[in-house]
C-alpha cells in the first residue's frame, strides 16, 4: 500500500470507489511521499496533514453510505498557491499577500471537492506568477525533480515538480502565457491549458482582475497520464455562476476527420533540432494511430498575438504592477517588468482598443485554420527546458527566454486550448510537443495526446535527482 502514490488518478479512484482501499490509506501514502521528497524540491509550500486525513475520512464515510462521491474519489490533488482555498493564504508567491487568508474557496477548489478529490497541499509559483522559473522571497526556490539545474517551469512550477515527483496524482495550475504548458514540458509530465471560459475562475478574497487576464488566464490540470487530464478537466469545469466568462460547452464536440497539421517553425520560430525531432516523432505516432498528418511551413500569426498578449498581461496597470514589485523587492518580477517596459508602456486607450480589435481578427484566422485541421502540432518552446534562472543572467539571456516562448504567449490571446504532451528525454532533459485545437475542443487535443502518449513517455513519477 505504501506505493499508492504511483498509481494513476483513474486507477486510484476506481480502487477507492470499489472499497479495495480507503481514501485515508491513499491520503496517508500521499503525505508520506510528500514528506519523503518535498524537502529536496520545495514544490508544496503549505499543507496540513490533519486536514488532508479529515477530507479523506469524509470521502470514506460517503462511500460507506453508498453515495456517489465523484470521479476523483479520494484522489490527492495539489492546488497552486495563487487561488483561494478557505483558511489558507493566497500568496501568489508574495510577502505582500502572506496575510491574504481566504474566507471561501475559488470555483476550482469547490469543483475538485465536489468531484471527491482530497486537497493535499498548495504548490509554489514565482512572485506575481510572472516567470517561467519558480522562485520567490516568501517560499523560496522550487527545484526540477528530474534535474535541479533546470527550471521546473513557471509559473506553475510547483505543480509540475509535485506531480512529476509523485506528490499528488493531479496538480492544478494556471496559464496566461504558458504557466501550465511550460512546467509540464520542463518536468516531463502532461499539462492542459483549457479554452478560456471552460473552467470557472474567481478569487473572492482578491480584487477583480483587469480585462486581459479575465479573457486569457485559465486554470487547468497537470498529470502523469492524458487520461487523468481528461477526468480532471471534467471535474474542474463544472458550473460556477461566479465567473461571468464561464461557458457550459460540452466536453465532447462534433466528430472531425483525424487530420493534423504539423509545424516545426511556426511564424518563423527558430526551433532547435532536439525539439524538431520530438515534434516529428509525435507526428509519426499520430500516423501510426490512424491520423493523417500534414507538415505545413507556417501557421496563422503568432508573433502579433504574442505582442498583444504581453501588452494586455503586463501593460494594463503597468505602473501599479511595477510599484508592487518594487515593494515586494523580488528580482525576477522586476526583471520581467523592466525587461518588457518598452513593449508594453505606455498603455493608453488607443492601444487598448486596437489590441481588442485585433483580437477578433486574429482569433477568426485561427478558427478558420481549425475548420481544416483537427489539431496542430508545434513546439511548446523553441528550446529544451532552460537552465534555472536563465532570464536573470543578462539582457541577452532575458531576450532569449522570451523569444523561445512565442507559442506559449500567443495562444492565450485567442483563448485557444493547448496541451503539452511529454514524449521523451534528451539525456535527462525532458522534451515534448504542444497540441492546439479550436475553442472548446480539448477533446481533440486529448485524443491526439493519447495517441502520442501511447508511443512512449518519460518514466514518471520520479525520485528527485540531487
Cα separation, 441 vs 436, in Å, equals 9
422 is annotated as an active-site residue = no
Cα separation, 30 vs 233, in Å, equals 21
Is residue 124 within 8 A of residue 42, CB to CB? The reply is yes
Q: What is the 8-class DSSP label of residue 89?
A: B
Of residues 22, 106, 115, 155, which has the active-site annotation? Answer: 155
Q: Pick from 274, 119, 105, 83: which is nearest to 185 by CA?
A: 274
Rounded to 10 degrees, the C-alpha dihedral 353/127/112/65 comes to -160
Instruction: Name 119's Cβ contacts closer than 8 Å, sequence gap at least 6.
Output: 52, 55, 77, 78, 79, 85, 109, 112, 113
Q: Are strands 76-80 and 118-123 parallel, antiparallel or unpaired?
A: parallel
Is residue 192 within 8 A of residue 220, CB to CB? The reply is yes
Helix (H, G, I), strand (E, B) or coil at 291: coil
Is residue 71 within 8 A of residue 237, CB to CB? The reply is no
Of residues 22, 24, 80, 129, which has the active-site annotation? Answer: 80
Residues in the chain: 466
If one counts every other C-beta atom within 10 angstroms of the C-beta of residue 349, the result is 7
Cα separation, 319 vs 307, in Å, equals 19
> Which residue has 501593460 as its cell numbers?
315
Is residue 400 within 8 A of residue 410, CB to CB? The reply is no
Cα separation, 333 vs 339, in Å, equals 10
Is residue 167 within 8 A of residue 37, CB to CB? The reply is yes
Of residues 115, 129, 156, 179, which has the active-site annotation? Answer: 179
Cα separation, 112 vs 116, in Å, equals 7
Cα separation, 439 vs 437, in Å, equals 7
Determine the straight-line distance between the first and last CA of the chain, rounded to whole angstroms: 26
Cα separation, 224 vs 458, in Å, equals 10
372 is annotated as an active-site residue = no
Q: In sequence order, which ranges of 250-302 are alpha helices (DSSP H)?
A: 273-288
Catalytic residue positions, numbered:
80, 155, 179
Amino acid at each position: 500500500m505504501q506505493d499508492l502514490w504511483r498509481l494513476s488518478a483513474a486507477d486510484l479512484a476506481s480502487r477507492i470507489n470499489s472499497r479495495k482501499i480507503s481514501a485515508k490509506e491513499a491520503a496517508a501514502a500521499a503525505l508520506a511521499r510528500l514528506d519523503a521528497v518535498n524537502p529536496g524540491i520545495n514544490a508544496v509550500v503549505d499543507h496540513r496533514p490533519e486536514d488532508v486525513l479529515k477530507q479523506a475520512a469524509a470521502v470514506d464515510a460517503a462511500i460507506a453510505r453508498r453515495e456517489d462521491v465523484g470521479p476523483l474519489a479520494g484522489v490527492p490533488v495539489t492546488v497552486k498557491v495563487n487561488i483561494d482555498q478557505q483558511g489558507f493564504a493566497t500568496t501568489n508567491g508574495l510577502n505582500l499577500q502572506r496575510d491574504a487568508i481566504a474566507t471561501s474557496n475559488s470555483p476550482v477548489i469547490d469543483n475538485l471537492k465536489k468531484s471527491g478529490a482530497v486537497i493535499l497541499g498548495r504548490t509554489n509559483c514565482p512572485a506575481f506568477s510572472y516567470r517561467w522559473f519558480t522562485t520567490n522571497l516568501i517560499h523560496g526556490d522550487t527545484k526540477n525533480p528530474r534535474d535541479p539545474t533546470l527550471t521546473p517551469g513557471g509559473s506553475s512550477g510547483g505543480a509540475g515538480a509535485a506531480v512529476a515527483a509523485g506528490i499528488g496524482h493531479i496538480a492544478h495550475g494556471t496559464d496566461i502565457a504558458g504557466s501550465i504548458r511550460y512546467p509540464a514540458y520542463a518536468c516531463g509530465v502532461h499539462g492542459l491549458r483549457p479554452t478560456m471560459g471552460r473552467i470557472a475562475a474567481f478569487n473572492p478574497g482578491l480584487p477583480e482582475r483587469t480585462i486581459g487576464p479575465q479573457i486569457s488566464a485559465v486554470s487547468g490540470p497537470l498529470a502523469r497520464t492524458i487520461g487523468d487530464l481528461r477526468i480532471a478537466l471534467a471535474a474542474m469545469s463544472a458550473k460556477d455562476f461566479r465567473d461571468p466568462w464561464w461557458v457550459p460547452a460540452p466536453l465532447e464536440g462534433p466528430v472531425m476527420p483525424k487530420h493534423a497539421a504539423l509545424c516545426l517553425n511556426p511564424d518563423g520560430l527558430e526551433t532547435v533540432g532536439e525539439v524538431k525531432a520530438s515534434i516529428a516523432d509525435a507526428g509519426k505516432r499520430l500516423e501510426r494511430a490512424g491520423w493523417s498528418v500534414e507538415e505545413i511551413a507556417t501557421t496563422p500569426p503568432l508573433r502579433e498575438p504574442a505582442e498583444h498578449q504581453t501588452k494586455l498581461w503586463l501593460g494594463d496597470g503597468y505602473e501599479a504592477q511595477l510599484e508592487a514589485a518594487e515593494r515586494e523587492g523580488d528580482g525576477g518580477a522586476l526583471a520581467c517588468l523592466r525587461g518588457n517596459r518598452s513593449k508594453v508602456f505606455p498603455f493608453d486607450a488607443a492601444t487598448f482598443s486596437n489590441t481588442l480589435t485585433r483580437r477578433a481578427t486574429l482569433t477568426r484566422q485561427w478558427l478558420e485554420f481549425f475548420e481544416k485541421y483537427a489539431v496542430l502540432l508545434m513546439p511548446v518552446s523553441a528550446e529544451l527546458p532552460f537552465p534555472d534562472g536563465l532570464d536573470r543572467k543578462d539582457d541577452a539571456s532575458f531576450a532569449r527566454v522570451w523569444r523561445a516562448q512565442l507559442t506559449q504567449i500567443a495562444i492565450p490571446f485567442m483563448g485557444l486550448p493547448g496541451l503539452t504532451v511529454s514524449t521523451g528525454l534528451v539525456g535527462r532533459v525532458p522534451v515534448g510537443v504542444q497540441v492546439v485545437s479550436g475553442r472548446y475542443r480539448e477533446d481533440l487535443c486529448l485524443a491526439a495526446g493519447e495517441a502520442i502518449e501511447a508511443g512512449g513517455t518519460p518514466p514518471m513519477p520520479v525520485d528527485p535527482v540531487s
